[in-house]
Structure 1
Amino acid sequence: MDKRTVRNIMNREKLLMDIFTAMKNTFGSSNWWPADSAFEVMVGAVLTQNTNWKNVEKAIQNLKQHNLLTPQVMLGLSQDELAGHIRPAGYYNVKAKRLQNLLRWFNDIASCSFSALDHLSIDELRAELLAVNGIGQETADSILLYAFERPSFVVDAYTRRIFHRHSLIEEDIYYEDLRDYFMDVLPHDAQLFNEYHAFIVHVAKRWCLKNKAHCETCPLRIFIE
């Protein structure tokens, strides 16, 4: 690796950590993902596809109220029964099928035990999740980070929006390249990745809106070129 490459890596690491510090100074600790168990996180990661978190919370509450939020019980439900309980999350028939695919994988590979997968490397576990029909890159990384507590950086539309507006990435950057933009230089620490992603979501929802950016009060305003 030549000196210029090393210098670029060091510069990017410093920039990304400075951005993280600016957000942390504004928000403190995020304590995200809101859930009572790792399994609830796994379910929520599927339910949050193409919907907002408030709808996911309603669906999760439905499952809890009917004592269904365990892998063993959910495995016993038909697709129609499961779809009925998660209706508030939208696309409930599709998501019920995806949840069933994930549950069958979890049961087949680990008898629904998170610790039974501790022997797998993060890359091996990620490949396993991506092989499940209906589990895409963002969902897989969310499950890895928030349910398995593995250091896999989650990127989403908010990440793309904020970092493109700061002229740090191309708008049409591929998911894996955007993920590598962080993972190639940041310490592989699950807590750091957890907080970083949560802060990005907070900034995007409060300042870096889809149709309008409120840069004058944003904690990242100092990073605008």
Structure 2
Amino acid sequence: MNLTVEQLFHKMLREMGPQGWWPADSKWEIILGAILVQNTNWQNVTQSLQRLDTLTGFDPEAVSALSIETLQEAIRPSGFYRNKSRAITDVFRWLERHAFDLAAIRQAYQTSLRSELLTLFGIGNETADVLLLYVFDYPVFIADNYARKFLTRLGVAHADTYQSVKDLIRLPQNFSVLDAQEFHGLIDVFGKQHLTNDRSWQASFLHGAKLQL
């Protein structure tokens, strides 16, 4: 069974249903979650987000005003709290310089926004793409660890690094931002369910499928 990217997306959506990603109530919460989830699991992130919600209500000005000591203590459950606190501070001060106006930031940077995000401390390729997709509404493909494992199972060669997958995968031109968000959510949920070992993959509805690029 050969599938294009678009056919793969629609098959997954039919089989699994909408995932409604990213799991957050505001874009400020998404920004925090995208930084906190680096090198940890979502359960740990949830604890940190609950603490930040109590402290700030996810108000961006309140987040920006947190002392480094208070911020580090709040996000300690997510691990690497010194680097992550510095990243949060750097990102929110950058946002503050733009009056926390996400639409204006998108308009000001346009196609150079990804490069600008990568200049911020603690923002690498994956986090930059998460912010582009979920915060700034660009329909980009997130080549995270689940995506790389997923594509390898679908017979895609050289899907072993973030950049190699970014070079290989092009979302269909008719993909909306919501489609791109759903695709990311579907792949990650599929990965948790079916990419843990050979047996789980063989039992999945995509076993035997090949991605046609």
TM over 0.5: yes
Deviations 1:95-125, CA, capped at 9 Å, x for gaps: 00111111111112x1112122231454211
> Where do 1:51-90 residues align within 5 Å?
51-90=40-79
The equivalent of 1:132 in structure 2 is 120
Q: Against the structure 1 CA distance between its residues 213 and 127, is the aligned structure 2 distance closer, same or farther, given a 3 Å change threshold?
A: farther
Instruction: State whether structure 2 residue 107 is matched by structure 1 residue 119.
Output: yes
Report which stretch shifted further, 79-88 or 182-191.
Answer: 182-191
Report which stretch shifted further, 122-131 or 134-143.
Answer: 122-131
Report which stretch shifted further, 113-122 or 46-55.
Answer: 113-122
C-alpha distance in structure 1 between counterparts of 2:16 and 2:171, whole Å: 25
Instruction: State whether structure 2 residue 205 is matched by structure 1 residue 219.
Output: yes
Alignment equivalent of 1:40, drawn from 22, 25, 29: 29
C-alpha distance in structure 2 between counterparts of 1:102 and 1:224, whole Å: 39
Q: Which has the higher contact order (CA 8 A, sep 6+)?
A: 2
Give yes or no for contact 2:21–2:185 (8 Å, CA) kept in 1.
yes
Instruction: State whether structure 2 residue 196 is matched by structure 1 residue 199.
Output: no
Alignment: residue pair count: 210
Give yes or no for contact 1:22–1:219 (8 Å, CA) kept in 2.
no
SS in 1 for 2:4: helix
Deviations 1:197-216, CA, capped at 9 Å, x for gaps: 1111111100111x444133
The equivalent of 1:15 in structure 2 is 4
Instruction: State whether structure 2 residue 139 is matched by structure 1 residue 143.
Output: no
Identity of matched residues, %: 31
Compute the TM-score of the two structures, normalised by the length of structure 2: 0.90
The equivalent of 1:177 in structure 2 is 164
Give yes or no for contact 2:159–2:165 (8 Å, CA) kept in 1.
no
Q: Mind listing any 5+ residue stretches in structure 2 that lack a counterpart?
A: none
Q: Mind listing any 5+ residue stretches in structure 1 that lack a counterpart?
A: 1-11
C-alpha distance in structure 2 between counterparts of 1:104 and 1:175, whole Å: 28
Report which stretch shifted further, 94-103 or 65-74.
Answer: 65-74
Q: Against the structure 1 CA distance between its residues 193 and 91, is the aligned structure 2 distance closer, same or farther, given a 3 Å change threshold?
A: same
